[in-house]
Structure 1
Amino acid sequence: MSARATPSRQDDAVPSERPLLLLIDDDEAITGALGAFLERSGYRVAVAADGMQGLTALERERPALVVCDVLMPHLDGREFVRRVRTGDAVLPIILLTQVGESWERSAALDEGADDYLNKPFDPQELLSRVRAVLRRSGSSAQPLRSAQRLRAQDLVLDRTARRVWRADAELVLTPKAFTLLEYLMMHPQEVHTRERLLSTLWGFDFATSSRAVDHRIAELRRVIGDNGAERLIETSQSVGYQFTAPVVPG
């Protein structure tokens, strides 16, 4: 791989209005195959082999979104995110993390990543995440990721204080239920499968019973009083759950 991040060779034939993605990974097999897949899906792709090359690439041009591995030489993905966020609060970043390391996924969000995906992953799922993050980042001047408070109707979640209110009454949630509500509110209008919620929030794979998610959803609905005709959290039959109400910083 080249010592510096360069757009893939197909770029000369691709219209400039196609969004540019920066793909950062030290595995050439991944960048080659994934870069080609993303290009076929309608994007231009630039590639960097580690976080340092990624930072250099950002000095030359601004991509619409960055997909970045966590475990890399010279500068890893988490440090890359920290350095980017010191000067850019809104550039969308998706981190590729290792299966089973739940602390790493939590740290990814805390340090400023917009989303994360476990390795190994289906390229089609990454494409769906890219599209979803781009939709979210374009819908608000202040992304939900960088907001201290999230608001949906009369429900307010304070991410820093780890507190929740509805109609000015403070609610008491278990730590797992709070984490689940925070995640759903940061990714509104998206259907999340039970498997994905188990993996990203609990660090479990699908071999673990998905009833853990159902129990926490039931707890959330009970505590926030989400039992009316128009629920904030809806069940997608046989799939999972989604937070259907619009969410804004505040």
Structure 2
Amino acid sequence: MPLENWTVLIVDDDDAIRENLGAFFDRAGVHVVSAADGAAALVQVAVAKPDLVILDVMMPELNGRQVLRALRAGGDWTPVILLTRTGESSERATAIEEGADDYLNKPFDPQELLARSRAVLRRRGGQVEPLQSARSLRSGPLSVDRTARSAALESRLVTLTPKAYALLDYLITHPGEVFSRDFLLNEVWGYQFAVATRAVDHRIAEIRRALADDPDAPRFVETIPRGGYRFCGLVERA
């Protein structure tokens, strides 16, 4: 979607954040509307029909998580990026389970937020619901049961360590997107884990062994030189 066709709703009770982000997105050619609290956000979603909602979690009265739940419960799958103040992996996982498309920890670089916004809109395309909301996904002979946190190849269960499964789950719910090792460490391991980027390579190797995925002719996980990794298979809801 061209930038000039976007409408983004920025929701934050901090006036400075709303104004600064609004000016930044406006300079990028994005049409901006804003709301200072959760109740106003729900009204703006109904009236302005934004393409994307950037939603702060920590707000008085109706917080961002409550707004997100209200939207999804009402069948509204407008893409949402949550702005949080915690790097806990459990908090991020809960946000995705409740229907968020992405999340970003404060403080953040506006350029990264813009890049993630583009990625969310590109990933969603014409889909009503994001892949992150699916209970199960399929890519050719690979099926992933996200409720049971298990994967199967040709209907046979494969054995993965918890971190390898979490990495596979993140990649398959973001098909086609390239993620650096540092990014995956933060998203899957969480910033509280002091581990080297080689940990990502080890778990990728584990996934490839379990899925019989040839790195020279990958069906599922592709290495991008100087870039990182991406899920390269076609993904659909199972």
Which runs of 5 or more residues in structure 2 are unaligned? Answer: none
Comparing 108-117 with 167-176, greater Cα deviation is found at 167-176
In structure 2, do the counterparts of structure 1 residues 229 and 139 end up closer, same or farther at CA, with 3 Å as the change threshold? Answer: farther
Superposed CA RMSD: 1.8
- The whole-number CA distance in structure 2 between the counterparts of 1:173 and 1:202 is 16
In structure 2, do the counterparts of structure 1 residues 26 and 66 end up closer, same or farther at CA, with 3 Å as the change threshold? Answer: same
Q: Deviations over 1:168-224 (max 9, x none)?
A: 211122222111111101111111111211112211269642122222111111111
Matched, 1:120 2:126: no
Identity of aligned pairs, percent? Answer: 50
- The whole-number CA distance in structure 2 between the counterparts of 1:135 and 1:88 is 21
Q: Which amino acid aligns with 1:161?
A: A
Query: Alpha-carbon deviation of 1:141?
Result: 4.6
User: In the comparison of the two structures, how many residue pairs are matched?
Assistant: 234
Query: Alpha-carbon deviation of 1:125?
Result: 1.1
Q: Deviations over 1:228-249 (max 9, x none)?
A: 5421111222332111112111
Q: Which amino acid aligns with 2:236?
A: V
The answer to whether the 8 A contact 2:96-2:133 is kept is no
Q: Which amino acid aligns with 2:181?
A: R
Query: Alpha-carbon deviation of 1:89?
Result: 4.7
Equivalent position of 2:155 in the other structure: 168
Matched, 1:238 2:197: no
Equivalent position of 1:6 in the other structure: none
Equivalent positions of 1:115-154 (< 5 A) are 115-154=102-141
Which runs of 5 or more residues in structure 1 are unaligned? Answer: 1-16
SS of 2:34 mapped into structure 1: strand
Matched, 1:104 2:100: no
TM-score, normalization by structure 1: 0.87
Query: Alpha-carbon deviation of 1:95?
Result: 0.7
The answer to whether the 8 A contact 2:215-2:222 is kept is no
Matched, 1:37 2:24: yes
Matched, 1:247 2:206: no
Q: Which amino acid aligns with 2:204?
A: I
- The whole-number CA distance in structure 2 between the counterparts of 1:59 and 1:202 is 36
Q: Which one of 205, 221, 227 corresponds to residue 218 of structure 1? A: 205
- The whole-number CA distance in structure 1 between the counterparts of 2:123 and 2:207 is 24
The answer to whether the 8 A contact 2:87-2:190 is kept is yes
